[in-house]
Amino acid sequence: MESRPVTQSSDAELIRETRAGQPEAYGELVTRYQGHVYGLAYSMVGRWEEAQDIAQETFLSISR
């Protein structure tokens, strides 16, 4: 199978690769969605520091 850059992978492919233990895929998912997750958390709590904590906890919980 031909290898392609992680950034060209679909979200579904990245999720499968993350579940298979490929840290590069997990990193790409975080890069793609960190702004969205942080923005949503901030809109809910209104505090920068707390939104950062929530975003971090969100990404940590999906990496397990």
Residues 7-24 pLDDT 10s:
689 999 999 999 999 999
List, as one string, the DSSP characters of 21-51: T-HHHHHHHHHHHHHHHHHHHHHHH--HHHH
Question: Residue 7: its pLDDT value, please?
Answer: 64
- Any domain includes 52: yes
Tell me whether residue 63 is in a domain.
Answer: yes
Which residue has 């490929």 as its token pair? 22
Count of domains forming the chain? 1
pLDDT over 50 (residue 34): yes
Which has the closest alpha carbon to 16: 31, 27, 26? 26
End-to-end CA distance of the chain: give it in Å, rounded: 27
pTM, two decimals, is 0.76
Q: Domain limits at 47? A: 34-64
